[in-house]
Amino acid sequence: MAIPKTPSNLRERAAALHFNGLVAHWSEVAEAEWVAQVVEWEEAERAKRSMARRLSTATIGRFKLIADFDWQWPKEIDRTAVEALLALDFMEDASNVVLMGPNGVGKSMIAQNIAYQALMRGHTVRFTSAGNLLGELTAIDSASRLQAKLRRYANYDLLCIDEVGYLSYSNRHADLLFELTNRRYEKKSTVLTSNRAFREWGEVFPNAACVVSMVDRLIHRAEIVSIKGESYRVREAQLRNEQRAQKRKQKKT
């Protein structure tokens, strides 16, 4: 619902923009038609810059919009659950989301769309692969810098960790992911994608003592969406090959 553009309301908005000179002389300019336009221009420009900054920080990358998702391709997917996740209700109580399934069924695409929706609604977001996240954290050789980086990751309104399970990690990696999970637990929402069931995470983090506790925190009050089917990327590759073959055939005739 639009905020009424009363003189009083405009003054509050001008003050929020730190238009101190304008506010100091408000009694002289309150009725001027240009005041509302200037305030709206500045609000729009700042919102634009904020969105650009948050989009850059989020590192979502290129992705297909959910409108282009082929819901008929997966053998099993709860479309209602996915569409509810895009409404971001889970963020209201700092719940998590886990998207599980084999390679190429759309887990990352769905996570990217969730991240983008959160950005559009003004949230701070970071999208990263598990490999990049843990590689970045373990490469830090200063305790103070590591703590600062962990605080940064812990403070994002929404953190999306993609591709957990595609690589195996050391105990150090496991400890850092547990530390981050623990800092965000019941405070901020995390979206995670994995091609491994939780019972297989012992293979992802061999010999790590914290795996059970980490999983326990991740799935507590989490929305878990299981996707089953063949790789959509393989299907697209097959279609492209068929199209190329058809073009070559037409050229010969």
Digit-coded pLDDT (tens) for 11-55 = 888 888 889 998 898 888 888 888 888 888 888 778 777 777 777
157: in domain: yes
pLDDT (mean) for 216-232: 92
241: in domain: no
pLDDT (mean) for 112-139: 95
DSSP SS3 for 46: helix
Confidence of residue 8 (pLDDT cuts 50, 70, 90): low
The vertex-60 CA angle with 239 and 77, nearest 5°, equals 55
C-alpha span between 36 and 139 (Å, rounded) = 50
In this structure, what token pair is assigned to residue 160?
Answer: 């999306």
pLDDT for res 30: 84
57: in domain: no
Confidence of residue 86 (pLDDT cuts 50, 70, 90): very high
- Give the CATH number of the domain where residue 144 resides: 3.40.50.300
List residues bridging with 154 in a β-sheet.
none
In this structure, what token pair is assigned to residue 11?
Answer: 């003054």
In this structure, what token pair is assigned to residue 131?
Answer: 């490999």
In this structure, what token pair is assigned to residue 132?
Answer: 């990049």
Phi, psi angle pair for 28, to nearest 5°: -85, -25
200: in domain: yes
Confidence of residue 1 (pLDDT cuts 50, 70, 90): very low
Work out the number of other CB atoms within 10 angstroms of the CB of residue 164.
24
Amino acid code (one letter) for 2: A
Amino acid code (one letter) for 185: Y
C-alpha span between 106 and 230 (Å, rounded) = 10
Q: Strand 158-164's sheet: what is its strand order?
A: 125-129, 158-164, 189-194, 97-100, 223-226
The vertex-16 CA angle with 11 and 20, nearest 5°, equals 70
96: in domain: yes
pLDDT (mean) for 69-73: 91
Phi, psi angle pair for 209, to nearest 5°: -75, -20
**3 pLDDT more than 50:** no
Cβ(17)–Cβ(43) under 8 Å?
Answer: yes
244: in domain: no
C-alpha span between 122 and 70 (Å, rounded) = 28
C-alpha span between 25 and 48 (Å, rounded) = 28
In this structure, what token pair is assigned to residue 58?
Answer: 């989020």
| H runs (alpha helix) in the chain | 7-16, 20-24, 26-29, 33-58, 79-86, 107-120, 130-138, 143-155, 171-184, 201-204, 211-219, 232-252
Tally of domains within the chain: 1
C-alpha span between 46 and 52 (Å, rounded) = 10
- What range does the domain containing 164 cover? 66-234
Cβ(60)–Cβ(127) under 8 Å?
Answer: yes
Q: Which residues contact 197 (CB under 8 A, 6 or more apart)?
A: 100
223: in domain: yes
